[in-house]
Structure 1
Amino acid sequence: MLVKRKETIRSEKAEVAVPVRPMNGGNGLYSYSKNSTFQRKAIEAAKELINKAIAEELDIKTLSSSNTFKIADLGCSVGTNTLLAVQNIINAVEHKFHSQGKHTKLPEFQVFFNDQASNDFNQLFTSLPSEMQYFAAGVPGSFHRRLFPNNSLHFVHSSCAAQWLSRVPEAVQDKSSPAWNKGRVHYSNSTAEVIKAFEAQFAKDMDNFLKIRAQEIVHGGLMALILPGRLNGTPHTDAYINKAFELVESSLIDMAKKGIVRVEEVDSFNIPIYYASLQEVEAAVNRNGSFSIEIMENIPHEKPQPKVMSITLRAGLEGTIKEHFGDEILDELFDILLRNKLEESSLIAESCKSVGLFVLLKHKPNE
C-alpha cells in the first residue's frame, strides 16, 4: 500500500496539512538540477531588476549594526539556480556599498537555503562553490509557516516556488461541493467554481505568506518574488504554463480510460498549484499593508520545446504524482505526454502567453 506522507505545519490559528512534494533530487536523467533551465531563465530575466532595486531601495544605514547581511532563498530546490540567484544579490549589495565609498566595510553574508524537509539538501550542498563569499545554511520547512526569528532577514528571494499552494482547496475534493473537480486534476479548463476555489486558496496563502515575511524581514528590508503566471485579464486557459498542465491532465485521463490508473484516482487527484496575475499579487500586498511595491512587472518567459517541457514537468511533478498514483505509471505517463500531447499541441501552445511575474517589495519602516 502506498502511504501518503504529509508534513504538518503550524500557524497562529490552525494546522494545515502540506503534501511533501520536493522537486526531483540527485543528478540523474530526470533530476531538477539537470532539468530546470525554464526556471533558470526567470532568474536571469530578473537580474537587472534586482540590481536596480538594491541600488535604489536598499538603505544600508538602517538595516543592521552587526555587519552581517542575511539572505534567504525560499523554495530553493536543488542544483545551481538558487546559487545564481544568491550570487546576483550579493554582487548587487557589494556594488551598493562600493558606490557609497564603503570599500573597507563590506558586510559578511549569511545565506539561508530553504525548502521542504525532504528536499535533497545533500545535492544542493555538493553544488556549493568551493570558495564561497557567504556562510551557508539549510533551513528545512514549508515557507507557508514561520522559518526565521523576528526582524532577522535583510533580503528574501523566491523564484518559481510561491505558485505552489499550501494545500489543494478542500471544496474541489468534496463530492458534495459544486466545486468538486471530478475527472480533472487541474483547474484552468475546469468549471468556474473550481477556478474560484483555487483563486481563493492562492489569496489565502499569499496573505499568510506576506504576514509571516513581515515578521521575519527587518524594516527597510527587501523581498523579490518571481512567479510563472499570466497577464492581467488573461483567461487561465490562455496561459502557456496552464496549457502544459492541461496536457498532463489529459494524459492521466487517457490512462484511466485504458485502465492503467483507476478513474477514482484521477477524481481524487489535484495539483496544488496556481498561476496568478500581477493584479492578484498586488491585491494581496495591499491587503497586508506591511510592504510597499517598488517594482511590479511582467518579465519574458520563453516556451521550451516539447521534449524539454516534458522532462521539465517530470522533474517538478514526479514526486507529487508518485505520492498519489505510485511510481509504476511515471514512464508511460510522460511518454504519452511527449508523444501524443505536447508535440501535437505545440501549435496551439504557441498562441498562448508565457510570462513571469516580478514583484519587488520593501518592508515599510516602523511608524
Structure 2
Amino acid sequence: MESTLKNVLPLCCLALPLVFVSGACDLSLGGVEPACEGWRPGDVVITELLPDPEGTDTGQEWMELHNPGRSAVDLQGLLLYSARADGSQERAYLFESSVPVEARGYVVLGDVRSDVLPAHVRHSYGDTLGSLGNSGGLVGLRCGDVVVDEVRYSGPIRSGVGRIYDGRLVPDSTDNDEPSRWCDAPPASDGGTRMSPGAANPACVTPLEGSDGGVSGDAGVPANTCLSSRTGTVRSLSRPRPGDVLLTEVMADPKAVADSSGEWVEVYALRDVDLNGVTLANEGSGRTLFGDSRCLEVRAGTYAVLARSVESAANGGLPSVLGTFSFGLSNSEGAHALRLFLNDTLLDEVSWTSAATPGVSRQLDPARRDPTRNDAAESFCLTPKDFRFGLGDWGTPGAENRPCVP
C-alpha cells in the first residue's frame, strides 16, 4: 500500500499543523507542486463519490476518476482537494508518486487509514482531506492554476449509496458541473451494493427530482427501453416473438416452503429477449404483467426463473429470480395451463391435467425443447429425485432440465 502518512506539504507549511488548507500556503501556485505541466480541463473527470459510507465514514470514503482520453495519464503532481460547497475550508492532497490511469479507464481514491487497501481502492489519500461533507461539498483536481475538474454535490446523501454521474452520458468536466446529471446509484439487479467503484456507472433514471433520486416507480426510463444491468446503459427492448421463449418447468406444490412464496416457473430463451411487457397467465383469472425499468433479460440458450418471492429463505432457495408473479398454481387434478403473452399475442403455452407432486417440479425434456413439442403433456415429467435445489425440493430452476425416462 502507498503510504497514507506522506508529508505532502511544501517547506513553507512545515510549521503548520497537518491540515491541508490551500489558502494557508498557496498550494495552487507554481513552484509549490511538482511539475504537472500540460494538463487541461477534462483530462480526468470525477464520476462517482461515496461521501457517506454505511457505518463510520472514517477510512471508507472514496471518489472515482475517469480518463476519457485515448492515452494513459498519471496523476503525479496533481492536487486533489475538497471543501465546503462554497469553497471554504479547503483541504488538499498532493500526488507525489505515480498513479497511472489507463485510457478510458477508472481509478478510485480513498481515505483508507489501514495498511491494506480494499479491492476497489487504487490509491489512498489518507486523512489529508478530512471527512467529505454528508450534506454537500465540492471535490476537485488541479495542476497549478488549471482546474482539471471540480464537482459540487448536494444532499441529501444516502448512507451506503454512491452519488454517480449519469452512465448514459460521456464523462465530461463541463457536463458534470450540472447537478441534474448526477443521481443516487440505482438498486442493483442482484440486490447488491448501490455503487460502482472502478467501473462504468449505471444509467441515472429520470426525472431525477424527488427524495429518492428518481429510482421509484418506472424510474422514468422511456417507453420501449430498459436499463441493462449488464452494461449499465439504457437500450431498446428486445421484444419476444412466438416461439422465442418457452415454458420449461413448473413448481406448483413446494414442500420446503409455503405455496404462496415457493411456487415458481422456469422459461427458456431461443434468442436474446426481454420479458418487459410480457404477461404470465394461468387457466383462470391469474395474470401478472412483468414491468420494470431494468431489462428483464433472458439470453439465448439460458433459463430464467419467475417466482412468487425473490427472498431465498421464503422461496425455497431458488437462484436469482428475474420477476415475480402474484397468482397461485393449482395442486389438484384438472385442466391447468400456463401462458405467456405479449399484448394479445400468445408466445407460448403448456398444459397438464395431473395433480402436482409435493416438493417435485414438472419439467420439459430438453430433447423436446421447441415451441411445438413442449405443447404435448407427455413432453413433461417429474424431476428425478437426485436433483435437488436450495432447501431440498426436487427441481432444476434456472439450469438444464434432466431427460425424461420412459
**TM-score past 0.5 threshold:** no
Higher helix share: 1
Query: TM-score band (shorter)?
Result: under 0.3
Question: Which TM-score applies when normalising by structure 1?
Answer: 0.24
The higher-RCO structure (CA 8 Å, 6+ apart) is 1
TM-score using structure 2 length = 0.23
Decide which structure has greater strand share.
2
Larger Rg: 2
